[in-house]
């Protein structure tokens, strides 16, 4: 790593151990290289895997062919497998179209081009912040929805961008060789990171010579076993076209989140514009299927799954189970309780940003709870252990691998004990300095970091980067801020002990609530404008009451984070060694863990057994109204007025949400669900509760990907929202400047 990092990166150090592996940098180009034959680590093909109802001895557990999942990379497409299972062998043109039609939506979601004139589709929950940003005074677009009746009414979202992956090249050899020139874990990871950054800069400069919108990222795959340089085209003029009411986009709220059957219209449409101010000409886009998909049909998801841990070792998973996830869940739940009380008290007057953050937290709680449940499932751990035992035996049987990699698994297990010695102290800093923490405390940490590095002579350009990051934070409502500060201080007290010197210095004999109240009343850091002025002089010399608190906390935080970073560096190198051992035995027959890099996942439309009955492959609008009346229209199952009185033409039997066995995880939100012809048959927005343990082991007995059905999207656009301009563009490929032009083209109602 660089000698001095931006604080945004440093803050992640303390959270790295939550993932159990190195933080992905990002990856990919289409080739037609055949996938190596299945290895001994994988069993014969099977349509479904049925986990044992009772824990079994390791000797009775057999690894499954797809334990590592089906998130295939575009540089190693599974051509033989597609031929075997679906009876077709897509060519390079097919994969190229799939890659170029897909988009990365900012840094957190996926999307796709769905018309030649730059129309982009993603989820409503991916567009929530953007909807809020373009809301004018006196409007409530989150609650009431938005539809641009004319091209000129489409609203630009500042700082929103989408990225399109143009090409991929392998740079593994350059990065690994750079690390081999030095000794020591920290030195090796630093040199490798610097080499990756150098490659990015050189390739970006060359790409920008051709097109100023291009840039390059070096993406890490297989836990450091492979590095690829991805060349992206960035579109930074993105405008909101249509969004349904939040009540439809998030129908059923947290109660229905990660469940199925489901009735959510989780969609939003944007449009990409070029430098000339006109909609771009998207040569590669996904056409719309008006007939949709039926049970048993093959489907494909092209998107950017965020993170999985299917290549982690059992000892790494046990550390995640015993420390990382448990601590993270406790911290999230405490903040959710505080925000829930605030939102309940404020009612309709609550700020959109607070509601959006609360949504993110509750979503994380439910997903983390499901993942933790998976790691507490003995059958899951047993199946992972069986696979690991096979891997270790294969390494020891190969003379060329035994000497170099024979003790890697043991070394990784020993490292978890070292991490465990630091983890209890790190519990004091869960979510510290992040968007989900106190804004005042985060600003204080930035101020401390900035002034300290300034005294040490950090170059001016690096200082400016830190300053820009520090000033990006918006203000919290003071009631929320005070609750978050008090909670942080309670966590410090609980993790370190009441008699710890840091605890005594921070609280100074007072309660966490008293200290928090004092800070809210007297600190300039509650206000972004006053904080910005303070940054121009010196925060640490400002006399602000927060200075004394952060001068007590920050040194311990950076000490603990530094220890974790040292362990992480060692773990990164061991993970890479294990990846090379796998390559030597099995080649690229299994996909790497998700890393928010573009993947293509396959599956079939299929219901499943649950709760003593069967979940159908798709729901209809009848179910939406059944829920509304069953819950007597109470939140979160209420419906907007226009949905309570639909036109006679509205077909309630239209498929609304659809499930498939496609392999996804967080980050896939907004991905297109495609048929074999690469036509839109759905819009991915969630997984069911049974899919959450798939972070660690892919199973498709009951785990499902949930999408908004393409037929349901069209029915809602046409009959509920009268959005003929979008319907015309999706179904006939014609862009209308106004709704009147669209009516004429569609045939006036």
pLDDT value, residue 560: 94
- The answer to whether the beta carbons of residues 488 and 429 sit under 8 Å apart is no
* Rounded (5°) CA angle 66-170-391: 35
Least confident piece of the model among 457-461, 577-581, 636-640, 699-703: 457-461
Query: Mean pLDDT, to the nearest integer, of 99-113?
Result: 98
Q: Which pTM does this prediction carry?
A: 0.89
Whether 175 has a pLDDT exceeding 70, the answer reads: yes
Give the pLDDT mean for 73-101.
96
Instruction: Report the range of poorest mean pLDDT among 47-51, 239-243, 311-315.
Output: 47-51
- Cα–Cα–Cα angle for 557, 563, 564, rounded to 5 degrees: 90
Cα separation, 657 vs 624, whole angstroms: 10
The pLDDT assigned to 74 comes to 96
Q: Residue 748: its pLDDT value, please?
A: 58
Q: What is the mean pLDDT of residues 254-260?
A: 96
Half-sphere exposure of 620 (CA within 13 A, CB side): 6
**Tell me: the pLDDT tens digits for 372-401?**
999 999 999 999 999 999 999 999 999 999
pLDDT of residue 50: 37
What Rg value do the Cα atoms of the chain yield, rounded?
A: 26
With cut-offs at 50, 70 and 90, classify the pLDDT of residue 747: confident
Q: E strands of 207-361, at which residues?
A: 214-221, 226-235, 238-243, 268-272, 298-303
**10 pLDDT more than 80:** no
Strand order across the 599-604 sheet: 72-73, 599-604, 298-303, 672-674, 680-687, 705-709, 655-660, 618-620
pLDDT of residue 305: 98
Separation between Cα atoms, residue 317 and residue 20, nearest integer Å: 7
Would you state the pLDDT for residue 18? 35
Confidence of residue 86 (pLDDT cuts 50, 70, 90): very high
Chain centroid offset of residue 211 CA = 29
H-helix or E-strand containing 213?
none
Q: What are phi and psi of 615, to 5 degrees?
A: -90, 130
pLDDT for position 29: 26
pLDDT confidence of residue 709:
99
pLDDT at 284 over 60: yes
- Mean pLDDT within 249-268: 97
5 pLDDT more than 50 = no
pLDDT for residue 605: 98
| Residue 589, both tokens | 């027959």
Q: What is the pLDDT of residues 727-744, one digit of tens each?
A: 999 999 999 999 999 999
- With a CB cutoff of 8 Å and minimum separation 6, the contacts of 55 are 378, 379, 382
Burial (Cβ within 10 Å: 0-12, 13-18, ≥19) of residue 748: exposed
pLDDT of residue 28: 26
Instruction: State how far the Cα of 249 lies from the Cα of 252, in Å rounded to an integer.
Output: 9
Coil, strand or helix at 604? strand
Question: Tens of pLDDT along 489-545?
Answer: 999 999 999 999 999 999 999 999 999 999 999 999 999 999 999 988 899 999 999
Measure the CA–CA gap between 486 and 509, rounded to whole angstroms: 14
Whether the per-residue pLDDT at 22 is higher than 60: the answer is no
**Measured between alpha carbons, how far is 617 from 261 in angstroms, rounded to an integer?**
9
Residue 56 has pLDDT above 90, yes or no: no
Token code pair at residue 454 = 């300034």
Average pLDDT, stretch 120-125? 98
pLDDT above 70 covers what percent of the chain?
92
Domains and CATH numbers, the chain: 68-161+236-309+592-749 (2.40.10.120)
Q: What share of the chain is helix, strand, coil (3-state, %, to 5)?
A: 50, 15, 35
- At 24 the pLDDT is 28
Would you state the pLDDT for residue 633? 96
pLDDT of amino acid 47: 36
What is the DSSP code string of 360-402? Answer: HHHHHHHHHHHHHHHHT-HHHHHHHHHHHHHHHHHHHH-HHHH
Least confident range of 242-246, 300-304, 348-352, 686-690: 348-352
pLDDT, tens only, 445-463: 999 999 999 999 999 999 9
In angstroms, the CA 686 to CA 659 distance is 10
pLDDT category at 115 given cuts 50, 70, 90 is: very high
CA distance 387 to 64: 9
- pLDDT the model gives residue 23: 29
State the angle between helix axes of 460-470 and 439-455 in degrees (0 to 180), rounded to the nearest 10.
170
Report the C-alpha gap between 510 and 515 in whole angstroms.
Answer: 7
Where does the pLDDT of residue 749 fall: very low under 50, low under 70, confident under 90, or very high at 90 and above? low
Q: Tell me, what's the pLDDT at 60?
A: 67
Tell me the pLDDT of the chain averaged across its residues. Answer: 91
Instruction: Determine contact, residues 310/70, Cβ cutoff 8 Å.
Output: no
pLDDT at 6: 42
pLDDT value of position 150 = 98
- The Cα–Cα gap between 516 and 439 comes to 12
| 3-class secondary structure, 544 | coil
User: Distance (Å, rounded) from C-alpha 68 to C-alpha 278?
Assistant: 44
Compute the distance between CA of residue 478 and CA of residue 374 in angstroms, rounded to an integer. Answer: 38
pLDDT of 676 > 60? The answer is yes
Residue range 256-274: mean pLDDT, rounded: 98
Percent of the chain scored above 90 by pLDDT? 87
* pLDDT mean over 579-584: 96
């Amino acid at each position: 790593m660089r000698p001095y990092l931006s604080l945004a990166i440093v803050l992640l150090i303390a959270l790295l151990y939550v993932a159990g592996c190195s933080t992905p940098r990002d990856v990919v180009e289409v080739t037609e290289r055949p996938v190596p034959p299945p290895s001994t680590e994988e069993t014969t093909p099977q349509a479904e895997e049925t986990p044992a109802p009772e824990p079994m001895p390791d000797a009775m557990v057999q690894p499954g062919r797809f334990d590592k999942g089906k998130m295939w990379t575009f540089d190693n497409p599974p051509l033989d497998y597609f031929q075997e299972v679906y009876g077709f062998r897509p060519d390079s043109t097919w994969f190229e179209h799939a890659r170029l039609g897909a988009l990365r939506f900012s840094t957190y979601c996926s999307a796709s081009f769905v018309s030649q004139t730059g129309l982009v589709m993603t989820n409503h929950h991916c567009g929530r912040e953007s909807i809020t940003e373009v809301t004018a005074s006196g409007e409530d677009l989150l609650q009431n929805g938005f539809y641009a009746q004319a091209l000129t009414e489409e609203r630009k979202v500042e700082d929103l961008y989408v990225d399109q992956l143009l090409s991929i090249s392998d740079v593994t050899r350059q990065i690994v060789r750079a690390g081999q020139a030095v000794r020591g874990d920290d030195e090796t990871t630093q040199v490798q990171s610097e080499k990756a950054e150098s490659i990015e800069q050189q390739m970006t400069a060359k790409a920008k010579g051709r097109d100023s919108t291009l840039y390059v990222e070096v993406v890490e795959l297989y836990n450091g076993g492979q590095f690829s340089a991805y060349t992206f085209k960035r579109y930074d003029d993105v405008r909101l076209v249509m969004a349904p009411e939040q009540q439809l986009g998030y129908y059923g709220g947290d109660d229905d989140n990660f469940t199925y059957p489901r009735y959510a219209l989780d969609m939003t449409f944007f449009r990409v514009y070029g430098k000339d101010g006109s909609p771009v000409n998207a040569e590669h886009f996904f056409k719309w299927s008006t007939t949709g998909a039926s049970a048993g049909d093959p489907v494909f998801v092209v998107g950017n799954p965020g993170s999985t841990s299917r290549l982690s070792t059992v000892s790494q998973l046990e550390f995640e189970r015993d420390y990382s996830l448990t601590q993270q869940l406790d911290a999230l739940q405490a903040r959710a309780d505080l925000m829930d009380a605030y939102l309940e008290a404020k009612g309709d007057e609550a700020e959109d940003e607070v509601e959006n953050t609360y949504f993110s937290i509750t979503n994380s709680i439910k997903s983390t709870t499901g993942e933790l449940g998976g790691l507490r499932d003995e059958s899951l751990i047993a199946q992972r252990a069986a696979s690991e035992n096979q891997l270790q035996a294969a390494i020891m049987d190969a003379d060329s691998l035994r000497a170099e990699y024979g003790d890697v698994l043991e070394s990784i297990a020993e490292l978890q004990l070292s991490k465990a010695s630091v983890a209890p102290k790190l519990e004091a800093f869960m979510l510290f300095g992040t968007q989900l923490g106190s804004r005042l405390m985060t600003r204080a940490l930035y101020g401390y970091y900035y002034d300290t590095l300034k005294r040490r002579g950090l170059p001016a350009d690096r200082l400016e980067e830190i300053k820009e990051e520090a000033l990006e934070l918006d203000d919290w409502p003071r009631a929320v801020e005070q609750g978050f500060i008090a909670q942080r201080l309670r966590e410090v007290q609980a993790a370190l002990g009441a008699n710890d010197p840091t605890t005594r210095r921070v609280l100074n004999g007072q309660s966490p609530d008293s200290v928090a109240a004092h800070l809210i009343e007297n600190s300039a850091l509650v206000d972004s404008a006053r904080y910005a002025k303070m940054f121009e002089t010196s925060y640490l010399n400002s006399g602000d009451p927060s200075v004394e608190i952060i001068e007590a906390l920050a040194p311990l935080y950076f000490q603990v984070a530094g220890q974790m970073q040292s362990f992480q560096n060692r773990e990164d190198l061991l993970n890479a060694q294990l990846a090379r051992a796998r390559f030597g035995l099995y080649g690229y027959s299994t996909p790497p863990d998700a890393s928010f890099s573009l993947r293509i996942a396959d599956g079939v439309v299929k219901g499943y057994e649950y709760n003593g009955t069967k979940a159908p492959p798709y729901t209809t609008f009848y179910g939406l109204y059944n829920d509304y009346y069953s819950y007597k229209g109470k939140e979160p199952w209420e419906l907007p007025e226009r949905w309570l009185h639909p036109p006679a033409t509205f077909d309630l039997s239209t498929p609304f949400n659809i499930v498939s066995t496609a392999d996804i995880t967080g980050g896939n939100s907004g991905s297109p669900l495609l048929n074999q012809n690469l036509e839109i048959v759905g819009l991915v927005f969630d997984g069911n509760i049974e899919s959450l343990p798939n972070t660690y082991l892919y199973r498709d007995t009951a785990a499902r990907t949930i999408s908004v059905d393409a037929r349901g999207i069209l029915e809602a656009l046409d009959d509920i929202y009268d959005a003929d301009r979008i319907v015309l563009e999706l179904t006939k490929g014609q862009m209308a400047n106004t709704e009147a032009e669209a009516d004429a083209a569609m045939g006036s109602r």
